[in-house]
Amino acid sequence: MTTKNPIKVAVTGAAGNIGYSLLFPLAAGQVFGPDQPIELQLLEIPQGLQALEGVKMELLDSAFSLVTNITCTSDGDEGFGDVDYAFLVGSKPRGPGMERADLIRENGPIFVGQGQAIDRSAKENVKVIVVGNPCNTNCLIAQHQAKRVNPRNFTAMTRLDQNRAKAQLALKAGVPVSEVSRLAIWGNHSPTMYPDFENAMIGGQALTDVITDHEWLKSDFIKTVQQRGKAIITARGKSSAASAAWAAIDHAISWSRPTPAGEWVSMAVPSDGSYGIPEGLIYSFPCTVNAEGEYNIVPDVALSSFAKEKAMASAEELLAERDAVKDILG
């Protein structure tokens, strides 16, 4: 019998596709461990509440021993009340023929209200993980509304891109995915993201020594990672959900315990000006997390001129996105 106080976790869009895949591993202790009780605070729009009641029934029917309470609500203050973690998933996914940035005018305002509710009601040290697209700029919007919370606690998810990139590299090299390390995503969760293969390792060797088809790395590999979301929409008719939920779990796990020695994790975090990326943009960098659960951008990563150009192009795109929402940044 555990004596720990429950961790409170908010999940928005909890009745949606990602929510459905995210809640069960969360409730099973996948992120916070097998002895950490958890209270789930699930948010939906009013039209989603009936479906959310069904999800709650299924959570109850799973008899998760760690779950001490489940709240279903459309009220931001109730949903974010006193939470330690907030997964901001709820928002519209893109359809075929759209870019994620096309969602900004529709989804951006959601993150104004949610940022304000987090500011009023969440714990001051709440950790926020934005999944809803375009996630970097939605994260920026929410962060700007929540002045009480440390701005560093607002992050957006590029872990799916990291996982996708590692999987492609493992397939190409014919090794288990666990052999691939230090693969970092730079930039925006968009077609301009840059998966940095030049600093990645396979089984302790430089990846570029193991995969000698450098033309593939520079072209097909990068394009496959950048366009993977679109490829899944084309194949499934719906955007990625289970892999996205799993990446959100990975992001939260990585943010709550020390990064294994020699490994990096990709997180879109507020730029501190590192690598010439304009300060304040929510930009994906290679990070490490310390024993206190604080992330740091990995310093002194060697970037070739090819990599620098790609990293800057993604920053330019984020500047344009920021400009497009300046009226709601507050």
CB of 111 to ligand NAD, least distance (A): 9
Distance between CA atoms of residues 20 and 38, nearest Å: 17
CB of 93 to ligand LMR, least distance (A): 6
CB of 210 to ligand NAD, least distance (A): 27
Q: Which is nearer to ligand NAD, 143 or 240 (CB)?
A: 240
Per CB under 6 A, 157 contacts ligand NAD: yes
CB of 99 to ligand LMR, least distance (A): 8
Contacts of 121 (CB under 8 A, 6+ apart): 76, 77, 78, 80, 81, 82, 83
Q: Which is nearer to ligand NAD, 162 or 199 (CB)?
A: 162
39 contacts which partner out of ligand NAD, ligand LMR, none, CB within 5 to 8 A by kind?
none
Single out the catalytic residue among 144, 189, 214, 251.
189
Contacts of 35 (CB under 8 A, 6+ apart): 2, 4, 29
The C-alpha angle with vertex 273 and arms to 309 and 311, in degrees rounded to 5, equals: 20
- Within 192-221, the residues that bind ligand NAD by CB under 6 A are none
Distance between CA atoms of residues 308 and 176, nearest Å: 29
Per CB under 6 A, 142 contacts ligand NAD: no
Query: Of 205, 129, 149, 147, which is closest to residue 173 (Cα–Cα)?
Result: 205
Q: 166: left (phi > 0), else alpha (psi -120 to 50), else beta? A: alpha
33: helix, strand or coil: coil
189 is catalytic: yes
Q: Which is nearer to ligand NAD, 104 or 217 (CB)?
A: 104
232 contacts which partner out of ligand LMR, ligand NAD, none, CB within 5 to 8 A by kind?
ligand LMR
Q: Which is nearer to ligand LMR, 232 or 324 (CB)?
A: 232
Distance between CA atoms of residues 284 and 97, nearest Å: 25
Q: Which residues pair with 286 in a beta bridge?
A: 266
For ligand NAD, the binding residues (CB under 6 A) are 12-13, 15-19, 43-45, 48, 89-94, 110, 131-133, 135, 157, 160, 189, 239-241, 244
Residue positions annotated with a catalytic role: 189
